[in-house]
Structure 1
C-alpha cells in the first residue's frame, strides 16, 4: 500500500501543480471573460459526460477489485466499457442537438462543439479499472507525461485574449490524452470480449451510483452553470478563479483515501473489521491534518492568492474565495464517508439519497442567492450543499456501522492554526509584495502548525512520519 500511496500522491501533486502553473498564466492572458467562456463550455459538456458514464467510474473500482480471476476481470471490464460506449454515443447526439438548436449557445458554438469531445470520448476514461487493480503507477506516470505536454502547448498557443478556444483544446487534450493512453495500454492487463457478456446485472447498482454521481457533480458544477445562465462570462470567470484556487489542494487531501479504496473493498468483503478500522482511522486523521490548516490559511491569504495566481482583474473574487475556503474540509470528509465507506459496502442507495438532498439544496439556494449576491451567493450555495451532503453521509455511516470517529482531531487542528491570522497581519504590515506575504506567511504558518501538532497535541500520524524520516536520514548519514 505504501508504494500505491506514493504513486497516488505523485498523481495528486501533479494534479495540483498543473493548474497552479497553467491557470495563472491563462487567467492573466485571456482574463475573466475568456476563463468564464471556457469553463462554462467545459462544465456544460461534463454534465452530459457525467450522465453518460452511468456511475461506472465509481462502481467500476469495486467491481474490478472484487474480480478474483483474469477471466472474470475481462468480462467485467468488457461489460462496463460497452455500457459506457453506448450511453456516450446517445448523450453525444443529445448534446449536439441542444447546442445547435438553443439560441443561448449560438454566439460561441465552436467552443461548445469542441467541448463535446468530452462527451463523445468519455468512454475512454478507464482509470477505474487501474484503480480497482491498485495500479496507481501507470495512472501517475501517464498523467505526468500528458500534463507536461499540455503546459508546453499552453505557452506556445495561448498568447492573447482571443486564444480562449486554443486554451479549451489544451484542457481537453489534458483530459482525453490521458484516457486514450490508458485505453491503449490496458491490453497488458485485460482483454475486450463480447461473447457471453451480461450487462443487465450491472444496471441496478450502476444506476444508483449514477444517481449519486450526478447529484455529487451536479451540485458541485451547478453553481457555475447557473451563474453562466443568470449572469455573465466575467462573473463566471471570477467565481471559477476563486473555487479553482481553493480546490487546488483537494487531490492531495483525498490522495490517501483513493489509494486505500481497493484494500478497503477487499477487507470489507472479507469482513476483516480490524484492518478496515485501521485504514479508516488513518485516512480520517490524514484528511483532518491537512484540510483544517489549508482552509484557514486559504481564508487568511485569499487576497494574496488571487493577486499572485490570477492578477488584479480578479480582485473581486476575494470574498467568494473566503466563503468557499472551507470546501477542502467538507469535500475531504464527504469523500471519506461516501467513497471509502458507503460505496465499498454497497450502500449506493443511501449515498444517492444524501447527494439528491445536495442537488435540491443547491438548486434552491443558487436560484435564490445568485440574482442578489452573484458569485458570493453561488459560493454560499456551494458550501451549504456540501455541508448537507456530508452531514447525511455521516448519518448513514453512523446508522449502519460501528466506526469510531475521533472528532477531537478537528478541534486540535483548529487550535494549532490559532496564530495564522496574526502572522498574516504582521506579514502584510512589514511587506507590500503579495508574493512575499504569501511565501513568508505560508512558511511561518506551516511551521507553527507542525510544531503545535507534533509537540503540544502529540499527533500520532505526524510523529510516525517524522520518526520514519529521521530514521531514513540516520541510515543515509551512516552510509
Structure 2
C-alpha cells in the first residue's frame, strides 16, 4: 500500500478536529444561554453516564485494531479475516453494554429522572460499533473522514438552531449531538467494503484477540473513571448547577486537548507499523519529531489559556459562568500533563505491546482521582474536581514516562530539552503580553483577539531567534519550493 503523507493527514485530521471544535464553540455559547446551568447539567450528567457503557462496548478494540491491523493492511485477505474477528468481538460487547445499561436504569431510581436523555445518548453505542472507524484510521483515510465530518456538522448546526430554543430543549440538544457524532456511521460500514470484507464469524476464531483487548479495555475503564468521575461525583454531591458551571471549564479544557492530540494522532498507525516491522531508527525519529511538535504547541497554549480564562469563558458562555474561571485555570496543568501522557501511552506503550503498564498507571490515577474527588468536592465544589483532575493527570504522566524510559533513552535528550527551554521562555513572554493587553484594553473580545495575535507573532519570532530546528526546516522547505518554481 502506498504510504500517505503524514503532513497531509495531520492537516486533514487537524481540520476535522477544528470542525469538531467549531461545532461546540459556535453552538455552546448559544446552548448554554438557552438551556442555562441546570439544563446543561442534566445534559452533561446523562452523557457522562452513557460514556461508561460506550467504553464497555468499545472494549479497547480501536487501539488494539490499529496496532495489529496496521501490520496487515497490505494484504486484503489477511486483513479481512482480522477485521471480521475484531468486529464480531465488538458486536458482542455492544450487546453486553446495552444489557448492563437497561439493568442500571431499572435498578437505580435516581437515574430514572434522566432516562430519556440517557436512552438518546445510548444510540451512540450501536452506531459507534457499526462505524468501524478503526479501519479508516488503519488505512489513514483522513480525506473521507474529513469530508464526512463537514457534511454532518453543518447539518447538525442548522438542526440545533431550529430545535433548541427553550430551557427544556436539552433532549433535542442530546439527539442532535448524537447525530453529529455518529450519524454517518452506517455510511462508514458500507464504505468499508473498499478495504476489506467484514462479517460476523465464529467466536472460536476471536479468542486469540481477547487477552490484549481486555487489558486495553481495563485500561480504558480506569482512564474513563478518572476523566469522567469528576462530573459524575460533582453531580451526586453538589447537583446540576455545579455540574453546569464546571462543564463550561471542562468543555474548554477538552477542546484545547483534542486539538493538540489531533495533530499527532495520525502518526499512531505509522508508529505501530514501524515498531511491528522492527524499524526502530525510523520509529524513534518520528516519535521525537511528533513529541517536539506537540510541546511547541501545547506549552504556549496552556499558558495562554490560563491567562485568558476570564475572556474565554465570558465570550463562550457569558458572565453568568464567570465562577468557572478558577476551575478552568486549575485544569490548565492537567492539559499539559494529559497531552504528553497521551502521546507516550498511545505512541510508545501500546505499539510496543506494553498495555499492562498503561493499565497499571491508569488504575493508580483513577484511584487518586476518585479519593480526592470525594475529599475536595464537598469543600471547594467544582474547583476540587479540577484540582483532582490535574493531580491524576500528573501521576499518569510520571508513571507512563517511567515505563517508557528505555525507548525514550534513545531520543536526543539534550536537543529536546533545549527546545523545551525555548518553548517555556516563549510561554513566559506570552503571559506578560496577555497581562499587558488586559491592562490597556477594556473590551473583552478585543482583549482576546489582540492577546492571541500578538502572542502568536512574538512566539514565532522567539522560535526563530533561538534557531528552533522545526522552524529552520520549515524555512528551508519554503526556500527550496521557491527555487524549484523559479
The verdict on a shared fold, with TM-score over 0.5 as the criterion, is: yes
Partner of 1:303: 310
Q: Which residue, 34, 38, 42 being the options, matches 1:37?
A: 42
Structure 1 stretch 230-239 or stretch 414-423: which is displaced more? 414-423
Distance 1:400 1:5 in 2: 24
> Contact 2:246–2:327 (CA<8 Å) still a contact in 1?
yes
Q: Which residue, 3, 11, 15 being the options, matches 2:16?
A: 11
> Contact 2:29–2:316 (CA<8 Å) still a contact in 1?
yes
Query: How far apart are residue 125 of structure 1 and its match?
Result: 3.7
Alignment of 1:372-383 (within 5 A): 372-383=379-390
Distance 1:296 1:90 in 2: 43
Q: How many pairs align?
A: 476
Structure 1 stretch 364-373 or stretch 1-10: which is displaced more? 1-10
Q: Does 1:420 align with 2:411?
A: no
Distance 1:401 1:290 in 2: 20
Q: Which residue, 117, 122, 125 being the options, matches 1:116?
A: 122
Q: Does 1:463 align with 2:480?
A: no
Query: How far apart are residue 475 of structure 1 and its match?
Result: 6.7
Q: Does 1:85 align with 2:91?
A: yes
Secondary structure of residue in 2 paired with 1:116: helix
RMSD of Structure 2 on Structure 1 (CA): 1.8
Query: How far apart are residue 402 of structure 1 and its match?
Result: 3.5
Distance 1:401 1:196 in 2: 41
> Contact 2:433–2:451 (CA<8 Å) still a contact in 1?
yes
Distance 1:98 1:217 in 2: 18
Q: Does 1:20 align with 2:29?
A: no
Partner of 1:250: 257
Query: How far apart are residue 199 of structure 1 and its match?
Result: 0.7
Structure 1 residues 61, 231: closer, same or farther in 2, change over 3 A? same
Structure 1 residues 461, 179: closer, same or farther in 2, change over 3 A? same
Partner of 1:430: 440
Q: Does 1:64 align with 2:69?
A: yes
Secondary structure of residue in 2 paired with 1:249: helix
Could you give the per-residue CA deviations for residues 378-407 of structure 1, whole angstroms, max 9, x where no partner exists? 001101101111111100000466332423
Structure 1: where are the runs of 5+ without partners?
Answer: none
Structure 1 residues 181, 327: closer, same or farther in 2, change over 3 A? farther
Q: Does 1:177 align with 2:183?
A: yes
> Contact 1:337–1:393 (CA<8 Å) still a contact in 2?
yes
> Contact 1:30–1:160 (CA<8 Å) still a contact in 2?
yes
Q: Does 1:451 align with 2:461?
A: yes
Structure 2: where are the runs of 5+ without partners?
Answer: 1-5
Q: Does 1:321 align with 2:331?
A: no
Distance 1:448 1:142 in 2: 36
Distance 2:388 2:478 in 1: 42
Partner of 1:142: 148
Q: Which residue, 273, 284, 289 being the options, matches 2:296?
A: 289
Partner of 2:231: 224
Could you give the per-residue CA deviations for residues 306-337 of structure 1, whole angstroms, max 9, x where no partner exists? 00011111110000011111233212211211
Query: How far apart are residue 194 of structure 1 and its match?
Result: 4.0
Distance 2:276 2:148 in 1: 31
Secondary structure of residue in 2 paired with 1:14: helix
> Contact 1:257–1:340 (CA<8 Å) still a contact in 2?
no
Q: Does 1:167 align with 2:206?
A: no
Could you give the per-residue CA deviations for residues 141-197 of structure 1, whole angstroms, max 9, x where no partner exists? 211211111111111111121211111111111122133321221122211234567
Distance 1:471 1:9 in 2: 25
Query: How far apart are residue 20 of structure 1 and its match?
Result: 1.4
Distance 2:484 2:37 in 1: 51
> Contact 2:87–2:199 (CA<8 Å) still a contact in 1?
no
Q: Which runs of 4+ in 1 moved over 6 A?
A: 473-476
Q: Which residue, 314, 327, 333 being the options, matches 2:340?
A: 333
Partner of 1:360: 367
What TM-score results when the alignment is normalised by the length of structure 1? 0.95
Q: Does 1:396 align with 2:403?
A: yes
